[in-house]
Amino acid sequence: MVTGDEGIGKSRLLSVFAERVKADGVMVLSGACIDVGDLWPYRPLREALERVAREGAGTADQAAVVQLLEILDADVQGNSSERLLARLHRGLSQLAAGRLLLVVLDDMQWADSSTRRLMLTLLSGLTTARLLILAAVRTEDQSSDPALRRLLRELQRSRSAEVLELAPLDRNDTLELAERLNEQPLSAQTAELIWQRSSGNPLFVEELLRGGGVAELPQSLRELVSSRVDALPAPAQEVVRALCVAVRPVPHDLLVRVMRRPESDVLPAARAAV
C-alpha cells in the first residue's frame, strides 16, 4: 500500500512499475476506484479485466478473464456476496496459475466495501498463488474515513502487507524535476519560487510550470487547493483563511485573538487544517 498526498506521484509510480513488470511477462490487472461508494461493487477489478479483454491475451488467459467477468455479471442476478467473493478468489488464483499476477488498485480511498473485502481475502494467505497487490491511497483521506482506517490497520497487522509512505521531494530533487520539465535552466528567482510554492509536490511543480509562471497560482492548482479547503470542517476553514493573509508564521495567541473563538475551539480546528 503506497500512501501520500495528492499529487505526490503515487499513480505515476504504480503505472511505471506495472509497465516494467508487464514487459517482463508478468500478468497485470490495473484499475482505479471512483468516488461512488458501494454503487459499483468491484469496479477497479472489472475495469482491469475489461482492459485485458480489449487488449487481448493468450487463449488460456483470455478464457480466464472472460470467466471472471461472467462471475462479476452474475452478481447482478442476485448471487450472495460471500459466494461471489469466493468465486472471484478462486478465479484470480487460477489466473495466476504458476506465475506472478500483479493487481494494481489506484485511489483506494474511494474503494467500495466489496473491493476492500476482496483485497483482504487475497492477502489472507488462503491461496498459494503468486499474487502481488500494489495499491495507492491519499494520506489526507485516512483520518476521515473509518472504513479506510480499518483497512490500513488490517494491512499493517498482516505479515503479507507493507505500507510505504511517499514523502515530498527535497529541494534539490524538486529543482531537478522543474528543470527537466522546463527543458532549460531556470533563473534563481523562478527556481526558489517553485520550491517555496510546491513544497516538493511533483504535481504542483508540473502545474506551476505549465501555467506559464509561478507568481500567480494556475487555475488547476487553485481549484485543487480550494476543493481541499472546502472539504474541511467550517472552523478549520476559518483557520486557513486567517492564516493565508499572513506572510510569516503566526503565534498561537495571535491566531486565537484573530479567530475570536475560545482556545478550546481553535486548537482542534488548527489540527484539522494542518
Residues 6 or more apart whose CB falls under 8 angstroms from that of 79 comprise none
Contact 218, 211 (CB under 8 A): yes
Helix (H) or strand (E) holding 15: helix 10-23
More confident residue, 20 or 90: 20
DSSP structure string for 205-260: HHHHHHTT-SSS--HHHHHHHHHHHHTS-HHHHHHHHHHTT-SSPPPHHHHHHHHT
Angle between helices 234-243 and 252-259 (to 10 degrees): 120
pLDDT at 72 over 80: yes
Q: Helix, strand or coil for residue 138? A: strand
Over residues 92-115, mean pLDDT = 89
Q: In the numeric block, which cell numbers belong to residue 195?
A: 520550491
* Chain position carrying cell 481541499: 228
Q: In the numeric block, which cell numbers belong to residue 197?
A: 510554492
Nearest to 134 by CA among 18, 52, 6, 20: 18
Task: Determine the pLDDT at residue 143.
Answer: 65
* Chain position carrying cell 491511497: 137
Contact 236, 272 (CB under 8 A): yes
Q: Rounded to whole angstroms, how far apart are CA atoms 34 and 131?
A: 23
Contact 5, 201 (CB under 8 A): yes
Instruction: Give me the phi and psi of 138, to 5 degrees please.
Output: -75, 130
Q: Helix, strand or coil for residue 66? A: helix
pLDDT at 77 over 60: no
The region, left, alpha or beta by phi > 0 then psi within -120 to 50, assigned to residue 119 is alpha
pLDDT digits (tens, 9 = 90+) for 11-30: 999 999 999 999 888 889 99
For the ranges 98-112, 201-215, 231-245, which has the lowest average pLDDT? 201-215
User: How many angstroms from the chain centroid is the CA of residue 20?
Assistant: 20
Q: Rounded to whole angstroms, how far apart are CA atoms 23 and 8?
A: 25
Q: Helix, strand or coil for residue 143? A: coil
Task: Determine the pLDDT at residue 105.
Answer: 95
Contact 101, 21 (CB under 8 A): no
Task: Determine the pLDDT at residue 144.
Answer: 65
pLDDT digits (tens, 9 = 90+) for 224-236: 888 889 989 999 9
pLDDT at 79 over 60: no
Helix (H) or strand (E) holding 78: none
Task: Determine the pLDDT at residue 148.
Answer: 80
Contact 88, 29 (CB under 8 A): no
